[in-house]
Amino acid sequence: MSDPSLPVVRLRPKSRARDIRHGHPWAYADDLVLDRRTRALPPGSLAVLEDSERNPLGLVAVNPASKIAARLLDRDSSAEVGPAWFAARLSRAQELRARLYPTPHYRLVHAEADGLPGVVIDRFGEAAVIQPNAAWADRLIEPLTEALVELTGVETVVMNGMARARRLEGLENAARLLRGVLDGPVEVPMNGAVYLADLMGGQKTGLYYDQRDNHAFAARLAGGGRVLDVFSHVGGFALAALVAGATEALAIDGSQAALDLAARGAEASGVADRLTTRRADAFEALAAIGGEGARFDLVICDPPAFAPSRQALERGLRAYERLARLAAPLVSGGGFLVLCSCSHAADLTRFSAASIRGIGRAGRAAQLLHVGFAGPDHPQLPQLAESGYLKALFFRLD
């Protein structure tokens, strides 16, 4: 039985009712009957979603100003979203991560795939960072935080509201401390290295847990060799490679703050004498290094999303091709090239094709050794292609 106090929003005839019944979590603006009453709902309002025949489909969060006009929260349209509801979702998410990781350093909630649409929570031991990237989560940040603290026992909770997705929801960018104290960057053990994560001012939540397994695979290729880590952030690939036995690593990034954290992580990992950092534009740096004739046994390029939307797809694919063309000549014969994409719009087929074109244009032949994805703390919702965004291609070049 639906809650009679909640507003009702309805799908248009021949819209996405079947997809939603089969597990798709979104209804787009052109799927809904956006009459005056629905348009007047404040962003993040809870409502009952019905199909065009007035059959209830579940409880949704509505944002009439967003392209994603309704996000499915619960198939039970009478569900009450509060601390107990949040605790049930968080408990299920934590149970999975506890099976996967020996220490509490992981992505605890991966949005729709964990039943909390638009919500990302990364855990850093006794601290956690919440990204409320949808209007409903922004409105209900307090009961979400209350449930998080009660369930996990974390002492510090940060709200990092700086993601691009918030602008699409009509939300302001903001970062604030919700619970506890934060004295500075926190240490995060991962793959034998120690990383420094800036939870308040760093990119995303301060660290990219999604690359953990790809860091580990790259480290297996790095022993005894020279490493170039481009778009290195806080040294993700470089530090993992150095603790695995790489002789030296050069980390390149556009952010000096991130490179400073990489250097501190190298100190904490006992490899500071083998890490060099350089602040530079990645494309300019690759061209300059190529001109110098330098060669590396392992080159990794892990850029930000070049194709964050369908409108940017072709431009983004050209950028991935160019990156591969500039990076491939820097790989020693028999060495390895790792190319990554976190673009939702560029699927694996398109990204692979662009990368292979770039390697070919550089005059190199390649073997594809491995295709990596986000780790299991970033589960995919099978009905939502966007939840499987990360791709990592591992090539051996002749």
pLDDT digits (tens, 9 = 90+) for 320-347: 999 999 999 999 999 999 999 999 899 9
Q: Which of 29, 46, 74 is the last residue of a domain?
A: 74
- Identify the CATH number of the domain in which residue 54 sits: 2.30.130.10
pLDDT for position 358:
98
pLDDT for position 297:
98
Domain assignment present for residue 391? The answer is yes
286-331 tens-digit pLDDT: 999 999 999 999 999 999 999 988 899 999 999 999 999 999 999 9
Domain assignment present for residue 390? The answer is yes
- Residues 62, 123, single domain; the answer is no
Mean pLDDT of 215-234: 97
- Residues 47, 97, single domain; the answer is no
Q: How many CA atoms lie within 13 A of 157 on its CB side?
A: 21
- Residues 277, 387, single domain; the answer is yes
Helix (H, G, I), strand (E, B), or coil: what is residue 82? coil
Domain assignment present for residue 3? The answer is no
Domain assignment present for residue 250? The answer is yes
Record the pTM. 0.94
> What sign results for the dihedral spanned by CA atoms 173, 257, 386, 177?
negative
- Residues 213, 290, single domain; the answer is yes
Q: Are 20 and 72 in contact (CB under 8 A)?
A: yes
Look over the chain and give the mean of its residue pLDDT values, rounded to a whole number: 95
Euclidean distance between CA atoms 24 and 71, whole angstroms: 9
Q: How many helices (H) and strands (E) does the chain have?
A: 12, 19
pLDDT for position 1:
56
Q: Which helix H or strand E contains 132, and what residues bound it?
A: strand 127-132
Domain assignment present for residue 149? The answer is yes
Domain count, the chain: 3
pLDDT for position 174:
87
Q: How far is CA 369 from CA 56, 221, 337, 359, 393, in A?
A: 48, 11, 10, 15, 8
Taking only Cα atoms into account, the Rg of the chain, rounded to an integer number of angstroms, comes to 22
- Residues 234, 196, single domain; the answer is yes
342 tagged catalytic: yes
Euclidean distance between CA atoms 288 and 313, whole angstroms: 27
Domain ranges, residue 169 = 83-179
Q: Which of 147, 179, 211 is the last residue of a domain?
A: 179
Answer with the residue of higher pLDDT: 2 or 354. Answer: 354
- Identify the CATH number of the domain in which residue 283 sits: 3.40.50.150
Domain assignment present for residue 106? The answer is yes
Domain assignment present for residue 279? The answer is yes
Active-site residue among 207, 301, 342, 392? 342
- Residues 250, 312, single domain; the answer is yes
- Residues 173, 224, single domain; the answer is no
Mean pLDDT of 171-192: 95
Q: Is residue 52 over pLDDT 70?
A: yes
- Residues 197, 63, single domain; the answer is no
Mean pLDDT of 166-172: 89
